[in-house]
Amino acid sequence: MRRAPKLDKHVDKDVILCSTTNHKVSRRTTQKLLDDAIPFTKNWKRIPFYKREAYRGASEVCVFTINRNLYVRARRSIDTLARMDRDRLLLNVI
């Protein structure tokens, strides 16, 4: 009998790359990741009214998630963004 192929241990293990409340920075980050052929997911999450003070009054936050194996490549890609855009991203470190 044949054995099933072994999968990488990080299959279906997505991690949060970064988050932002700015729509323009979200679009630029999306475009940069697409240009560098890095697969990702982008979700907009509503912020409850009583927690908006921590997000400086923003009503929603954009969260980018990627596969754990592509984290280093994605961080290098984000590092090439303009400084003003990088300052508005909240980067997560694994």
Q: Is the pTM of this model over 0.85?
A: no
For the chain, the domains span: 14-91
Closest by Cα among 15, 14, 34, 25 to 77: 34
The angle at the Cα of 29, spanning 27 to 30, to the nearest 5 degrees, equals: 65
pLDDT class of 84 with cuts at 50, 70, 90: very high
CATH architecture, domain 14-91: 2-Layer Sandwich (3.30)
pLDDT class of 88 with cuts at 50, 70, 90: very high
